[in-house]
Chain A
Amino acid sequence: MTQPAAQQPTGAAPAVELEGITKRFPGVVANKDIAFTVKRGTVHAIVGENGAGKSTLMKILYGVQRPDEGTIKVNGQVVELHSPSDAINAGIGMVFQHFMLADNLTVLENVVLGAEKLHGIGDAARQEIVKISDSYKLGVDPDALVADLGVGARQRIEILKVLYRGAKILILDEPTAVLVPQEVDELFDQLAELKDEGLTVLFISHKLDEVLKVADAITVIRRGTTIDTVDPTSVNARQLAELMVGSELPSPTTEESTVTDRVLLRVERLVLGGGTGRPVLDDISFTIHAGEVLGIAGVEGNGQAEIVEVIMGMREPTSGEVYLGDQDISDWHVRQIREAGVGYIPEDRHRHGLLLEAPLWENRILGHQTEEPNIEAGGFLIDAKDAKADTERIVKEYDVRTPSIFVTAGSLSGGNQQKLIIGREMSHHPKVLIAAHPTRGVDVGAQSSIWDHIRAARREGLAVLLISADLEELIGLSDTIQVILRGKLTGEFDPDTVTAEDLGAAMTGAGDKSGAGDETDAGPATASPRHTDPTPTDATEERS
């Protein structure tokens, strides 16, 4: 398996050719009959919604997972990738979304780590790094300490690491998710550079504007299978979006408005300091009325998660207030807030929403340990009998697909876990529902039923705060959409008239709204990658 990389490209053989790739996990088919061809010396984008199967595909290409069926050809030769080192030998390198760098080491040390055999760890390695850095114009200083570097620079080190190991085909997994717009432009320049040098780049994203800008070919993945490979010059973002979500585009809200004038959740001038540098949340104010869904759009890590944490009482704001109805709940503890009627669908259900090793019925109690039907004897004892009975009800009413309520939450698929959480939260008749990425990592069937539940909540007069990275979801469900950028709400949109492109532009600060170029300081200290993992891992990979 070592020869393809070393081999001189044989004329027209494409860099990567996939045929009939299929991968099944318990309960879901993650990839089905994936087929596409990547030409050498191009930037080839793979686009698809969250959960469409992009990550699984990339893991297969990088040897982390093995396909159940199908063949992979690299430079015209069939390869079997059993591990990442096989992939590296075949000339495939991966730049992960979450950087894997040791802060307290220098660039040189980080690059040679694990590849000491190539050029040693001394001057030879340094020269090689400088050579790569110069030839692809990466501008990396081998002796800089990684801790001192910003996000953009760290990403370039990751790219350099891959090149250093001899990769000719680079996979970049959502590389722009952590970058500010200027850095995105720089990255694209570098990708062009790599392309000119004959390297091949596989670029995974769900941001259509970026993809259209940088890619030479775009393969669209939907529900685990390749839909089409298109030429970016012949499609626009709208057409691409339709390919991504299929014909069943969530009809941008046809339901009539249920918004009332009764304010249920009010956030006043919320500020959350970010240690040094600019605040994580900067003067956030909004109100949500009964029967209203307020959507918040934004690129990952712009403060959405923090808004939720502050409202839920998990973090103390530096200043500002949160009102539930007329009551100031800024100082309340999480439990009081939940008891007062705030339902919570957390962004990362594995970390915040479930006890993965506990049975479903114990998970039904979580977050409502002080409320009926989970308690008896004045709140001192857990009422297992009633909790179990109620879990049975939730499982039935919310269509949680499970053989019983005694299996562990971790053994359910993402969609069923999420339905359990929604059922649990709705069972306590909340006044306000905080839904963070409610359909992230769930299958399409669960997705539409989760949307139905949110619509139902709205009809019942709940105030819903919907945070999502899925613009179609936001447009389809929200009554109002606010865009958050670098901790500030930068624009309000009417979902009836706004398009995904408009939102995308506003989210990256490229739109006509203010805040485009005024914060060039959004640099190293503040823009560090967030821990929240936007691609929920399989339950099997979850740490206990």
Chain B
Amino acid sequence: MSRLNPRRIALALAAPVLALVVAFIVTSIILLLFGDPVGDVWKTILTWPRPRQQVQVINAATVYYISAIAVAIGFRMNLFNIGVDGQYRVAVFAAAVFAGQAWLPGILNVLVALVVAMVTGGLWAGIAAYLKVKRGVSEVISTIMLNAIATGVVSWLFAKVAVRPEGSNVVQTKDIPESSRLEGFALIPGATNRVYSMILLAIVVGFLYWFILGKTRFGYDLRATGRSETAAVASGVNVPRMVMTAMIASGAVGGLVGMPLLFGQDFNYGTTIQSGLGFAGIGIALLGRNNAVGIAFAAVLWAFLDIQSNALQIQAGVAQEIVFIIQGVILFAVVIAYELIRRADKRIEQNRVAKELASAPKAQPTTEGAPA
């Protein structure tokens, strides 16, 4: 027997599959109830995407992935960082303003802008971390409020730095110089659009997440704190410091969420900035079970549903918002399924341990006396 026993793997896969099935059924029922064409909707969503859409899926998944990793860092130690949305917003604004100044040439400008984004996101999350450690404020409350504050602060600052390019009606921050724009990779043959270069960033973030949490002492301390704060304290983990570090790390990664968009598509911060990326990250982290690879699959699924739903209005005459229902049901179902499976797994394992011990040749007759 080893870590990778088949029962574990089967149980781990059962939940998301179950959730997808449930989401499929529930959504179909809703469509039926309101007289929408069920068949057309699923046909539209489930057709194999064309190359252009494939690129869009990958690009959207890249952004989602970073967002979900940011959330997952908090989750691993029972911190609920609802504030990735705000952290992402302040960070992308700061990075856009910085990169727009073109103080540094080409790729250097990009790299330093990434640092600016991480520092800004980290500091923003640091406010919530500080409040939690010093004042006992729940990070759920403070990060939600910081989201609202982030919107306000950024709008206010935006008004100070915004410019209106000639012949345009929209205001925006100064465009980043041509030399700092990343043209992307032509990964999918036949597609005119390109995959964000920042997919590399997502891969690096994912790798570091896996490595630091899974392999380092710091990661061990962090996971131990998440599993049992009391046991972590007794083992010598400085929990307040751990809260600070994890929250700031989560915010710093949250700050990177907007980078693929900034350097691969928008090239400035404007009023069209995408919101809600942080919230999507929460769901994707849940679906991916805080696992670096699991989150990648979840992010692709999420992006796939998003992109495929664009055609719903035209192809099936159904508002594309139906996809929110699908995503919502998936989340509900998966959270419930994970909990059920966790309990089942625990019970199975306890019984199995008891049974294997009872049948082991050297084991003594069942010991008497209660553990309770």
Asked whether, in the complex, the Cβ of A26 is within 8 Å of the Cβ of B350, the reply is yes
Asked whether, in the complex, the Cβ of A53 is within 8 Å of the Cβ of B350, the reply is no
Asked whether, in the complex, the Cβ of A355 is within 8 Å of the Cβ of B228, the reply is yes
Chain A proximity mask over B338-363: 1 for CB below 8 Å, otherwise 0: 00001000110111111111101001
Instruction: Confirm or deny: A502 has a beta carbon within 8 angstroms of a beta carbon on chain B.
Output: no
Chain A proximity mask over B184-226: 1 for CB below 8 Å, otherwise 0: 0000000000000000000000000000000111011101100
Instruction: Confirm or deny: B138 has a beta carbon within 8 angstroms of a beta carbon on chain A.
Output: no
Instruction: Confirm or deny: A505 has a beta carbon within 8 angstroms of a beta carbon on chain B.
Output: no
Complex CA gap A427/B221 in Å reads 20
Instruction: Confirm or deny: B9 has a beta carbon within 8 angstroms of a beta carbon on chain A.
Output: no
Nearest-Cβ distance from residue A367 to partner chain B, whole angstroms: 4
Stretch at the interface among A67-75, A149-157, A412-420: A412-420
Q: Give the residue among A344, A370, A382 with the most B Cβ atoms within 10 A.
A: A382
Asked whether, in the complex, the Cβ of A334 is within 8 Å of the Cβ of B368, the reply is no
Instruction: Confirm or deny: B1 has a beta carbon within 8 angstroms of a beta carbon on chain A.
Output: yes
Complex CA gap A335/B367 in Å reads 36
Q: At the interface, is chain B mostly helix, strand, loop or mixed? A: helix
Q: With A355-B228, A441-B372 as given contacts, are A382 and B234 in contact (CB-CB < 8 Å)?
A: no
Q: B3: which A residues are within 8 A, CB to CB?
A: 359, 406
Q: A367: which B residues are within 8 A, CB to CB?
A: 234-236
Instruction: Confirm or deny: B155 has a beta carbon within 8 angstroms of a beta carbon on chain A.
Output: no
Chain A proximity mask over B213-252: 1 for CB below 8 Å, otherwise 0: 0011101110110011011011111100000000000000
Instruction: Confirm or deny: B370 has a beta carbon within 8 angstroms of a beta carbon on chain A.
Output: yes
Complex CA gap A368/B216 in Å reads 14
Which among B2, B220, B350 is the interface contact of A369 at CB below 8 angstroms?
A: B220
Q: B238: which A residues are within 8 A, CB to CB?
A: 333, 335
Stretch at the interface among A134-142, A273-281, A509-517, A530-538: A530-538
Nearest-Cβ distance from residue A316 to partner chain B, whole angstroms: 13
Q: With A380-B216, A406-B3 as given contacts, are A53 and B357 in contact (CB-CB < 8 Å)?
A: no
The residue in chain B whose Cβ has the minimal distance to the Cβ of A404 is B1
Asked whether, in the complex, the Cβ of A224 is within 8 Å of the Cβ of B370, the reply is yes
Asked whether, in the complex, the Cβ of A344 is within 8 Å of the Cβ of B370, the reply is no
Complex CA gap A28/B371 in Å reads 8
Q: How many residues of A contact B (CB 8 A)?
A: 77
Instruction: Confirm or deny: A354 has a beta carbon within 8 angstroms of a beta carbon on chain B.
Output: yes
Asked whether, in the complex, the Cβ of A441 is within 8 Å of the Cβ of B368, the reply is no
Complex CA gap A411/B350 in Å reads 5
Q: With A351-B228, A355-B224, A408-B346 as given contacts, are A30 and B217 in contact (CB-CB < 8 Å)?
A: no
Instruction: Confirm or deny: A114 has a beta carbon within 8 angstroms of a beta carbon on chain B.
Output: no
Which among A368, A407, A540 is the interface contact of B353 at CB below 8 angstroms?
A: A407
Chain B proximity mask over A22-34: 1 for CB below 8 Å, otherwise 0: 0011111111100
Which among A30, A223, A407 is the interface contact of B349 at CB below 8 angstroms?
A: A407
Instruction: Confirm or deny: B47 has a beta carbon within 8 angstroms of a beta carbon on chain A.
Output: no
Residues of chain B in range 48-83 having any CB-CB distance to chain A below 8 Å: none
Chain A proximity mask over B101-142: 1 for CB below 8 Å, otherwise 0: 000000000000000000000000000000000000000000
Complex CA gap A52/B369 in Å reads 5
Q: A407: which B residues are within 8 A, CB to CB?
A: 349, 353
Which among A223, A370, A401, A404 is the interface contact of B368 at CB below 8 angstroms?
A: A223
Q: A32: which B residues are within 8 A, CB to CB?
A: 368
Instruction: Confirm or deny: A397 has a beta carbon within 8 angstroms of a beta carbon on chain B.
Output: no
Asked whether, in the complex, the Cβ of A403 is within 8 Å of the Cβ of B370, the reply is no
Q: B5: which A residues are within 8 A, CB to CB?
A: 406
Instruction: Confirm or deny: B168 has a beta carbon within 8 angstroms of a beta carbon on chain A.
Output: no
Which among B231, B352, B360, B363 is the interface contact of A352 at CB below 8 angstroms?
A: B231
Asked whether, in the complex, the Cβ of A51 is within 8 Å of the Cβ of B369, the reply is yes
Q: A353: which B residues are within 8 A, CB to CB?
A: 231, 234
Complex CA gap A312/B236 in Å reads 9
Which among A27, A56, A375, A401 is the interface contact of B217 at CB below 8 angstroms?
A: A375
Asked whether, in the complex, the Cβ of B367 is within 8 Å of the Cβ of A56, the reply is no
Q: B215: which A residues are within 8 A, CB to CB?
A: 381-382, 384
Asked whether, in the complex, the Cβ of A540 is within 8 Å of the Cβ of B357, the reply is no
Q: With A351-B228, A406-B1 as given contacts, are A544 and B342 in contact (CB-CB < 8 Å)?
A: yes
The residue in chain B whose Cβ has the minimal distance to the Cβ of A368 is B235
Instruction: Confirm or deny: A11 has a beta carbon within 8 angstroms of a beta carbon on chain B.
Output: no
Asked whether, in the complex, the Cβ of A443 is within 8 Å of the Cβ of B235, the reply is no
Instruction: Confirm or deny: A402 has a beta carbon within 8 angstroms of a beta carbon on chain B.
Output: yes
Residues of chain B in range 304-354 having any CB-CB distance to chain A below 8 Å: 342, 346-347, 349-354
Asked whether, in the complex, the Cβ of A380 is within 8 Å of the Cβ of B353, the reply is no
Nearest-Cβ distance from residue B111 to partner chain A, whole angstroms: 25
Asked whether, in the complex, the Cβ of B372 is within 8 Å of the Cβ of A55, the reply is yes
Instruction: Confirm or deny: A92 has a beta carbon within 8 angstroms of a beta carbon on chain B.
Output: no
Asked whether, in the complex, the Cβ of B372 is within 8 Å of the Cβ of A30, the reply is yes
Q: A441: which B residues are within 8 A, CB to CB?
A: 370-372
Can you list 11 contacts pairing A with B, beta carbon distance less than 8 Å?
A: A27-B354, A27-B366, A29-B367, A29-B368, A224-B368, A335-B238, A369-B237, A403-B1, A411-B353, A415-B367, A444-B367
A411-B353, A413-B371 given; name 16 further pairs at CB < 8 Å: A25-B370, A26-B353, A26-B355, A30-B369, A30-B371, A223-B369, A335-B238, A337-B236, A369-B217, A370-B236, A403-B356, A443-B367, A444-B368, A445-B367, A536-B371, A540-B347
Q: Which 3 A-B pairs have the closest CB atoms?
A: A335-B236, A26-B354, A30-B370
